Chains A and B, each alone.
Chain A
Amino acid sequence: MSLFGLYNYWIVVFLMMAGFYVVVAHENLIKKIVGLNVFQASVFILYITVGKVQGGTAPIIGENFTIYSNPLPHVLILTAIVVGVATTALGLALVIRIKEAYGTIEDDEIAALEEEP
């Protein structure tokens, strides 16, 4: 029963490994970026679950509440999400340039093209 309190971490680990698998095993660059996003989201969920306090409410101070969840992870993740989408946009832009330069977005085909003189 004491292990049950850790299930939130296991969800995070599962999502993280799923994203990791997509990044490692797939050749398609767009799919790799989606995998990175899933990985990123799992880290977000990890931080937010750490910040949760049993019985707490959102950290907006009001008169009727005494217990609040930890605001610090919220701040970190809030900025991280927006930075994440900005870097994703940069990654997608790179993918488009790669497509224009090589004519493909499959990693192994690009490697094969590189080896040819």
Chain B
Amino acid sequence: MYSYLVLRVVAKLLMPFILLFALYVQFHGDFGPGGGFQAGVIFAAGFILYALIFGLQKAGRVLPRGILRFGIALGVLIFAGVGVYNLLVGGKYLDYSAMAQNPVHGQHLGILLVELGVGVTVASVMIMVFFTFARHRNTKGSD
């Protein structure tokens, strides 16, 4: 699809805004609608748009497979790690009140970190699934 000038220019214009919007949704989810799940999906949608228009190879150079595989596991690890950290500092598993001096701040921090973990995993899984589907077609064609 690289040959369509309009698509290419519009996608290039939109990309930073989509990614910025995803980050806004991620970190503003406490105050407005949003959160890790939505942000991850929007982030992934942005990258899939990029991959659809500029081709898999370019998208693969931006986000190599290793990073994605790492990200899939990293998100779950952040989530579970926050829980374990709570155990270590004397709270209950996934009870964030013990994470800071003030229980309210602890809760806030915990929620932010957990949402970050959710976002990382969701985004990585969605992009990875798309790349895997698309690469599968390419390898099948070459066989």
A interface with B by C-beta (< 8 Å): 58, 60, 78-79, 81-82, 85-86, 89, 92-93, 96, 100
Contact = CB atoms under 8 A, between A and B. Distances in A.
Interface of B: 31-33, 35, 37, 40-41, 122, 125-126, 129, 132-133, 136, 140
A58 B33 contact: yes
B125 A86 contact: yes
A78 B133 contact: no
B33 A60 contact: yes
Contacts of B140: 100
B116 to A, nearest CB: 15
Contacts of A58: 33
Contact of A60 (B32, B129, B132, B136): B32
B41 A82 contact: yes
Nearest to B122: A82
5 contacts: A58-B33, A60-B31, A78-B35, A86-B125, A86-B129
Nearest to A79: B37
A81 B41 CA distance: 11
A54 B134 CA distance: 46
Contacts of B31: 60
Nearest to A89: B129
A82 B140 CA distance: 29
A82 B32 contact: no
Given A58-B33, A60-B33, 8 more contacts: A78-B35, A82-B40, A82-B41, A89-B129, A92-B133, A93-B129, A93-B132, A96-B133
Contacts of A96: 133, 136
A92 B41 CA distance: 18
A63 to B, nearest CB: 13
Contacts of A100: 140
B82 to A, nearest CB: 17
Contacts of A79: 37
A90 to B, nearest CB: 9
A93 B133 contact: yes
Contacts of A85: 41, 126
Contacts of B136: 96
A89 B126 CA distance: 9
Top 10 closest pairs, chain A to chain B, by CB: A89-B129, A82-B37, A78-B37, A82-B122, A86-B125, A79-B37, A82-B41, A60-B32, A96-B136, A60-B33
Contacts of B35: 78
